[in-house]
């Protein structure tokens, strides 16, 4: 700790120390001009740096692959490269802190935020988190690893009580946070919204002080998730340094009064303020007196890294010789995700990208437009597509659209996410109304669906006739972070070239948990049987049919879990129809997690491409053509059906939760551990992925090394081209004194081998790799006895085994 920040904090009266403990606005802390302390600024992450704008629009930024795509790389060094690039992005937005990475575990297959997290496995998640945090902080930007802890679902996430036994917390859910603190030295941590075992995490002393600071030795800042602090003395005393966003709701004068009343010790406030000053010193914010600006820096090296990472995370799930593509002359490009670049998930991770390369764009660049034919076939949107431009908005400084507008502006597309500064500050952001006008022209005759949802009271008029009412009949749904209603639709038959006027009127409503106002509306022609038939016809005469299906950030989004893992809409029918028309059909999936594949036996090749960032189409084309190896391996098990997943239960308290409580009944048997325990064969196992070459694991030897173990794995590329794979090392305890998974991932390495090349890879295992957490003793314990080690290429492909004898031990850490 420097003398500088000690001196600064001791020169501050209580009121100034308190100023540092809450935001001034949505994205910054107040400057303390008397002491020449500038602002500290934060920006959302983790797949980019949005800056201080709204969740839509704003200064453009580089869009990197989402968390699960980075998870699929199994490459901590690449995660570190990405973190370093994102540090540059954060600097370009005038910020010092990135609200990233997200390291919650994939407990269920339907969590809306799985796309943002790395994996179902704590060791894979921990290793990637360490790399990412190191990259960010080497660039002078603080990580804010989140959400600490027990936020594995988006259902009632701001109030839900997550009941998790301590052993499961220690071995599974806290593991990435522990690694980020002890190995990467993270400077920031964000508490989650939910309760953990009955206490909100923002005021959970056991979590924030006993575990985090006393046991792990953390000396950074703990900040609340936005509006996630609900009290004054309890949060300060528990270990929450910073309430976000501002202006303060629970601190300021309330905290000063709490100190004067003896509810909070003044020394505690000093400690919290010192933590914030330490963060400012570490990030350079204490000396950053430059005028705040946000820049759009579209760097060539970032483009290249995003493209590389997109391919490195692409998982080849099936290939019967169709891939890589061998210069086809006629390519049918089919599906709802073919001409739309699905580059990111939804929620606070979304940003305004510099550009979007769709799969169609990438294939045109590779094969030329003349070689390609397109058919959409069906739709997969959750909400009706936006009207992109030409909207006009009139704002009223009341909630009844009365009088003359106080402000008018044009905008586009037809979505708004208003937090502060609405209508150039001419209305109270919590009490106003607006009238939005747009025009839509039908390109062809058909039945058109109009949709509206809002975190506001709203209604839609089409050519002056009310079509949708959520003004008088608004009901809470799963949009706008659970502050909005679900989409309501209405249909109209339109002739080709017919133009209609759409008017949406809205007024603010009281906030439930998060203080925001938003609306979204759109329109599309409904597709049907004829469109699927047209797609099959387009595929019939092609050398290869590429079908781009999946989901989007409308489905994979913060604030809303999925209802299941079947592909939305009629996409399964589309795949089957195309496969029947052309035996050389390749399915390219873009989702934030597993999907059911009833058509799997009908197609020769399947590639999972996730949401790979702004270079989406180029990265996919690189893999399809074989210019780049499909480098990904599954970071999450793909079950054959939704009901096979670890949280499926007849008891809704297990999932999705009941009466405000969700019970983690499965304990440590999560992810691949669950499928093995239950004897359930998944569709694709954890760690699985194919390459264009074949790498064999041919041997495993184990020896003691100091107080740990060294495992040596023999590898050989048996294919005809250079290839990569991920060697995975699992540990099992033969006679454990308590239920333990038969095999747990404890180490892995990504390797690249030339055709015919062999390698012996030595992987060290620390004592912790063999330990379980003894709740009664509060220590990690090695039982002692025989331990089996397994090496292979997935959780279901572990044909090399070795045993080692270890003595009983109690570990200090």
| Alpha carbon distance 21, 19 (integer Å) | 6
Q: How confident is the model at residue 516 (pLDDT cuts 50, 70, 90)?
A: confident
Pair of tokens at residue 726 = 């991920």
List Cβ neighbours of 300 (8 Å cut-off, separation of 6 or more): none
pLDDT tens per residue, range 220-234: 999 999 999 999 999
Model confidence at 786: pLDDT above 80: yes
Pair of tokens at residue 767 = 């004592």
Please report which helix (H) or strand (E) contains residue 156, including its range: none
Q: How confident is the model at residue 162 (pLDDT cuts 50, 70, 90)?
A: very high
Burial 473-499 (b: 16+ CB within 10 A, else e): ebeebbbbbbbbbebbbbebebeeeee
Residue 179 Cα distances to 116, 173, 377, 606, 803, angstroms: 19, 11, 46, 34, 27
Model confidence at 37: pLDDT above 70: yes
Question: How many C-beta neighbours within 10 Å does residue 215 have?
Answer: 13
pLDDT tens per residue, range 273-298: 999 999 999 999 999 999 999 999 99
Residue 725 Cα distances to 354, 624, 630, 698, 784, angstroms: 32, 18, 10, 14, 32
Strands (E), 103-151: 145-148
| Alpha carbon distance 436, 504 (integer Å) | 5
CA-based nearest residue to 72, from 589, 541, 567: 589
Q: How far is CA 601 from the centre of its chain?
A: 30
Please report the pLDDT score of residue 362 as a whole number: 98
CA-based nearest residue to 601, from 314, 316, 320, 315: 320
List Cβ neighbours of 596 (8 Å cut-off, separation of 6 or more): 565, 566, 567, 640, 641, 642, 683
Per the CB < 8 A criterion, the answer to whether 92 and 98 are in contact is no
| Alpha carbon distance 10, 200 (integer Å) | 31
Q: How confident is the model at residue 707 (pLDDT cuts 50, 70, 90)?
A: confident
Q: How confident is the model at residue 52 (pLDDT cuts 50, 70, 90)?
A: confident
Across residues 382-391, what is the average pLDDT?
A: 94
| Alpha carbon distance 123, 141 (integer Å) | 24
SS3 of residue 189 by DSSP = strand
Across residues 658-687, what is the average pLDDT?
A: 97
Across residues 174-194, what is the average pLDDT?
A: 98
Model confidence at 192: pLDDT above 90: yes
DSSP 591: -
Across residues 18-40, what is the average pLDDT?
A: 97
pLDDT tens per residue, range 122-134: 999 999 999 999 9
Model confidence at 608: pLDDT above 80: yes
Across residues 14-43, what is the average pLDDT?
A: 97
- For CA atoms 137, 343, 126, 647, the dihedral sign is positive
| Alpha carbon distance 209, 375 (integer Å) | 57
Per the CB < 8 A criterion, the answer to whether 143 and 177 are in contact is no
pLDDT tens per residue, range 429-474: 899 999 999 999 999 999 999 999 999 999 999 999 999 999 998 9
**β-strands 661-663, 161-163 pairing:** parallel
Per the CB < 8 A criterion, the answer to whether 158 and 193 are in contact is yes
Supply the mean pLDDT for the chain.
96
| Alpha carbon distance 636, 640 (integer Å) | 13
Per the CB < 8 A criterion, the answer to whether 544 and 582 are in contact is yes
Q: How confident is the model at residue 513 (pLDDT cuts 50, 70, 90)?
A: confident
| Alpha carbon distance 355, 222 (integer Å) | 34
Please report the pLDDT score of residue 423 as a whole number: 87
Per the CB < 8 A criterion, the answer to whether 42 and 25 are in contact is no
Instruction: Note the residue count of the chain.
Output: 813
pLDDT tens per residue, range 484-508: 999 999 999 999 999 999 999 999 9
| Alpha carbon distance 425, 79 (integer Å) | 40
Strands (E), 591-707: 605-608, 661-663, 695-705
Burial label for 260, CB within 10 Å (0-12, 13-18, 19+), is exposed
List Cβ neighbours of 357 (8 Å cut-off, separation of 6 or more): 341, 614, 615, 616, 617, 618
Per the CB < 8 A criterion, the answer to whether 810 and 779 are in contact is yes
| Alpha carbon distance 640, 684 (integer Å) | 8
pLDDT tens per residue, range 69-85: 999 999 999 999 999 99
Pair of tokens at residue 35 = 């002491």
Please report the pLDDT score of residue 1 as a whole number: 55
| Alpha carbon distance 518, 504 (integer Å) | 12
Catalytic residues: 225
User: In order of start, what are the domains of the chain with their CATH numbers?
Assistant: 1-39+150-156+186-283 (3.20.20.300), 300-375+532-678 (3.40.50.1700), 391-525 (2.60.120.260), 695-811 (2.60.40.10)
Q: In which order are the strands placed within the sheet that holds 315-319?
A: 315-319, 605-608, 585-590, 544-550, 331-334, 372-375
Across residues 173-190, what is the average pLDDT?
A: 98
Angle at the Cα of 9 (from 4 to 11), degrees rounded to 5?
95
Q: At what angle do helices 359-367 and 616-624 cross, to 10 degrees?
A: 50
Model confidence at 55: pLDDT above 90: no
Across residues 329-357, what is the average pLDDT?
A: 96
Q: How confident is the model at residue 813 (pLDDT cuts 50, 70, 90)?
A: confident
Q: How far is CA 132 from the centre of its chain?
A: 14
CA-based nearest residue to 515, from 428, 576, 627: 428
Please report the pLDDT score of residue 296 as a whole number: 95
Per the CB < 8 A criterion, the answer to whether 280 and 2 are in contact is no
List Cβ neighbours of 257 (8 Å cut-off, separation of 6 or more): none
């Amino acid at each position: 700790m420097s003398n500088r920040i000690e001196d600064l904090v001791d020169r501050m009266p209580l009121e100034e120390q308190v100023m540092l403990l809450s935001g001034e606005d949505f994205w910054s802390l107040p400057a303390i001009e008397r002491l020449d302390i500038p602002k500290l600024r934060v920006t959302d992450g983790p797949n980019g740096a949005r800056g201080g704008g709204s969740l839509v629009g704003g200064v453009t930024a580089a869009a990197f692959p989402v968390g699960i795509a980075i998870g699929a790389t199994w490459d901590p060094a690449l995660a570190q490269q990405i973190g370093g690039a994102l540090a540059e992005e954060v600097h370009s937005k005038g910020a010092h802190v990135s609200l990233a990475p997200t390291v919650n575990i994939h407990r269920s297959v339907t969590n809306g935020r799985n796309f943002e997290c790395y994996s179902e496995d704590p060791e894979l998640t921990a290793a990637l988190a360490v790399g990412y945090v190191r990259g960010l902080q080497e660039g002078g930007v603080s990580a804010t690893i989140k959400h600490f802890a027990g936020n594995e679902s988006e259902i009632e996430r701001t109030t839900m009580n997550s009941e998790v036994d301590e052993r499961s917390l220690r071995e599974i859910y806290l593991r990435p946070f522990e690694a980020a603190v002890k190995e990467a030295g993270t400077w920031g941590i964000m508490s989650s919204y939910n309760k953990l075992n009955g206490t909100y995490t923002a005021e959970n002393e056991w979590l924030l002080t006993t575990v985090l600071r006393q046991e792990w030795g953390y000396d950074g800042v703990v900040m609340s998730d936005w509006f996630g602090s609900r009290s004054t003395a309890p949060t300060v005393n528990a270990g929450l340094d910073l309430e976000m966003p501002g202006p303060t709701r629970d601190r300021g004068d309330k905290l000063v009064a709490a100190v004067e009343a003896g509810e909070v010790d003044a020394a505690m406030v000093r400690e919290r303020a010192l933590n914030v000053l330490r963060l400012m010193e570490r990030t350079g914010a204490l000396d950053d007196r430059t005028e705040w600006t946000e820049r759009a820096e579209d760097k060539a090296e970032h483009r290249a890294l995003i493209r590389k990472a997109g391919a490195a995370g692409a998982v080849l799930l099936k290939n019967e010789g169709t891939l890589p593509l061998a210069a086809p002359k006629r390519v049918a490009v089919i599906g709802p995700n073919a001409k739309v670049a699905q580059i990111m998930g939804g929620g606070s991770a979304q940003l305004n990208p510099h550009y979007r390369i769709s799969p169609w764009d990438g294939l045109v660049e590779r094969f030329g437009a003349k070689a390609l034919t397109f058919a959409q076939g069906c739709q997969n949107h959750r909400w009706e597509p936006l009207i992109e431009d030409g909207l006009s908005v009139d704002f009223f400084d009341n909630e009844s659209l009365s009088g003359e507008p106080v402000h008018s502006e044009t905008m586009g597309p037809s979505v708004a996410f208003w937090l502060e500064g609405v209508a150039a500050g001419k209305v109270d952001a919590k009490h106003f109304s607006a009238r939005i006008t747009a025009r839509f022209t039908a390109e062809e005759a058909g039945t058109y669906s109009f949709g509206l949802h809002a975190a506001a009271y709203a209604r839609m008029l089409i050519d002056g006739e009310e079509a949708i009412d959520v003004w008088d009949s608004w009901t809470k749904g799963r949009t706008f972070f659970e502050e909005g209603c679900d989409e309501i639709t209405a249909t109209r038959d339109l002739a080709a070239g017919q133009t209609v006027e759409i008017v949406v009127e809205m007024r603010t409503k009281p906030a439930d948990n998060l203080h925001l106002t938003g609306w979204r509306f759109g329109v599309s022609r409904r597709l049907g049987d004829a469109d699927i038939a047209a797609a099959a016809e387009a595929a019939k005469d092609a050398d290869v049919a590429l079908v781009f299906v999946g989901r989007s950030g409308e489905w994979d989004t913060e604030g809303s879990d999925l209802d299941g893992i079947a592909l939305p809409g009629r996409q399964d029918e589309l795949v089957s129809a195309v496969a029947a028309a052309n035996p050389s059909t390749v399915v390219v999936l873009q989702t934030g997690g597993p999907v059911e594949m009833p058509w799997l036996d009908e197609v020769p090749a399947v590639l999972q491409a996730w949401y790979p960032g702004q270079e989406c189409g180029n990265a996919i084309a690189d893999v399809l053509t074989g210019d780049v190896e499909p480098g990904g391996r599954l970071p999450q098990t793909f079950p054959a059906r939704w009901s096979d997943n670890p949280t499926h239960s007849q008891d809704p308290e297990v999932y999705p939760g009941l009466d405000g409580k969700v019970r983690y009944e499965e304990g440590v048997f999560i992810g691949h551990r669950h499928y093995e325990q239950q004897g359930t064969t998944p569709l694709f196992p954890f760690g699985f992925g194919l390459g264009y070459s074949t790498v064999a694991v041919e041997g495993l030897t184990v020896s003691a090394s100091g107080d740990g173990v060294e495992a040596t794995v023999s590898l050989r590329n048996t294919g005809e081209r250079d290839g990569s794979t991920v060697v995975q090392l699992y540990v099992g305890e033969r006679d454990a004194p308590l239920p333990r998974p038969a095999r747990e991932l404890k180490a892995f390495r990504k390797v690249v081998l030339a055709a015919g090349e062999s390698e012996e890879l030595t992987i060290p295992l620390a004592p912790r790799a063999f330990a379980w957490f003894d709740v009664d003793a509060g220590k990690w314990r090695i039982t002692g006895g025989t331990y089996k080690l397994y090496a292979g290429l997935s959780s279901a492909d572990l044909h090399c085994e070795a045993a080692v004898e270890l003595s009983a031990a109690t570990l200090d850490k």
